Amino acid sequence: MKKIKLIIFDLDGVIVDSKLNMKFAWDFVKKNNKINVGFNAYFKNIGIPFEDILIKLGIKNNIQQLTKNYSKGSIKYFNKIKMFKGAKSVINKLNKDYYLALLTSKDLKRTKLIIKKFKLKFDSINCPVSGKQGKPNPWQIIKMIKKYKLEKKQVVYVGDTKVDLKTAKNAGINFFYARYGYEGLKNIKYSLKNIKEIYNYL
């Protein structure tokens, strides 16, 4: 693992703890759109773009309006988002020696607000793109590999869900599992009890 040059991070469940924010945002959507799907059902599908989650939940009408309302609710309760302990210092330190990127299913507007809120710096920010497939499709990772002229063995993706794991596998790169995040996975070779343990594999 000594040849790593690009570290790609998922955002929610890896750098920031936004579960409470998600709950408030989902409740906002339910209240304003008469949706009866509970938060637990929603949360089981996180890791993919919001519109894809709605479809998985059987919600197929007013997708654009629901997406806007979720974003509005999320921003309204932005104070519920916290950074995981040690995340900022790790990001700041890694910035000195590696290319750092974000690959998240959160929309670009809210992603930029979080980066600004916590004063984080990344070389590349990758969010869902209209008309393009989201995670676990690896096209954004492949694009970054080409941009920085790297080999796949020089790139790692840090995530916390099955979707993140599948995204890394589809891209042919190594996966660091943030087991302090939102989804319990088993038998992952590179596992982080907390974000600081990333240094064990670099």
67-97, pLDDT tens digit by residue?
999 999 999 999 999 999 999 999 999 999 9
HEC assignment per residue over the chain: CCCCCEEEECCECCCEECHHHHHHHHHHHHHHHCCCCCHHHHHCCECECHHHHHHHCCCCCCHHHHHHHHHHHHHHCHHHCEECCCHHHHHHHHCCCCEEEEECCCCHHHHHHHHHHHCCCCCEEECCCCCCCCCCCCHHHHHHHHHCCCCHHHEEEEECCHHHHHHHHHHCCEEEEECCCCCCCCCCCEEECCHHHHHHHC
Q: What is residue 34's predicted lDDT score, i.e. its pLDDT?
A: 85
Q: Are residues 168 and 95 in the same domain?
A: yes
Q: Are residues 37 and 120 in the same domain?
A: no
Range of the domain at 131: 6-17+82-201
162-172, pLDDT tens digit by residue?
999 999 999 99
Q: What is residue 122's predicted lDDT score, i.e. its pLDDT?
A: 98
Residue 1 counted as domain residue: no
pLDDT, averaged per 10 consecutive residues of the chain (202 residues), comes to: 89 97 96 92 93 94 93 96 97 97 96 96 96 95 97 97 97 98 93 96 92
